[in-house]
Structure 1
Amino acid sequence: MFLFRSVLHLLWMVVTVVPWTLAVLLMSLVPPRNLAWWTAVNWFRVVMWGTRVILGVQVKVLGFEHLPVGKASAAVLLSNHQSTLETLLLPTLMPHPLAFVFKRELLKIPFFGWSMARLDMIHIDRESRTEAMKHVIAQGCRLLAQGTWVIMFPQGTRLPRGEKGTYQTAGTRLAVQSGAPVVPIAVATARCWPKDSFVKRPGVVTVSIGPLISSAGRDPKALMREVEAWIEAELRRIDPEAYPAA
Structure 2
Amino acid sequence: MLLIKNLIYWLILATTLIALFPFMLAGALFPGGAHKMAQVWVAILNWSLKHVIGLKYTLIGAENIPDRPSIICSKHQSGWETLALQEIFPPQVYVAKRELFKIPFFGWGLKLVKTIGIDRSNRRESSELLMQQGLARKNEGYWIAIFPEGTRLPPGQRGKYKLGGARMAKMFEMDMVPVALNSGEFWPKNSFLKYPGEITVVVGKPIAHNSGDEAAMMAECENWIEARQAEITGRGPFAPKKAV
TM-score, length-scaled by structure 2: 0.93
SS at match of 2:22: helix
Measured after TM superposition, the shift of residue 62 of structure 1 is 1.4
Q: For 2:127 and 2:23, how far apart are their aligned partners in 1?
A: 32
- Classify 1:11/1:134 alpha carbon distance in 2 versus 1 (closer, same or farther; 3 Å): same
Measured after TM superposition, the shift of residue 46 of structure 1 is 0.2
Measured after TM superposition, the shift of residue 218 of structure 1 is 2.0
Aligned to 2:73: 78
Aligned to 1:91: 86
Aligned to 2:27: 27
What's the Cα RMSD here? 1.4
**Among residues 213, 226, 236, which one is paired with 1:232 in the alignment?**
226
Q: For 1:58 and 1:176, how far apart are their aligned partners in 2?
A: 35
Aligned to 1:54: 52
**Among residues 185, 190, 195, which one is paired with 2:179 in the alignment?**
185
Q: For 2:112 and 2:140, how far apart are their aligned partners in 1?
A: 17
SS at match of 2:220: helix
Equivalent residue letter for 1:48? N
Q: For 2:29 and 2:209, how far apart are their aligned partners in 1?
A: 35
Q: For 1:12 and 1:5, how far apart are their aligned partners in 2?
A: 11
Equivalent residue letter for 2:93? A
Measured after TM superposition, the shift of residue 215 of structure 1 is 1.4
Contact kept, 8 Å, 2:155 with 2:233, in 1: the verdict is no
Whether 2:119 is the aligned partner of 1:125: answer yes
List, as ranges, runs of 4+ consecutive aligned residues in structure 1 with deviation greater than 3 Å: 240-245
SS at match of 2:216: helix
Please list every run of 5 or more consecutive structure 1 residues that lacks an aligned counterpart in the other structure: none
**Residue correspondence of structure 1 range 34-53 to structure 2 within 5 A:** 34-53=32-51
**Residue correspondence of structure 1 range 105-124 to structure 2 within 5 A:** 105-124=99-118
Number of aligned positions between the proteins: 239
Aligned to 2:190: 196
Contact kept, 8 Å, 1:74 with 1:145, in 2: the verdict is no
- Percent of paired sites with the same residue: 36
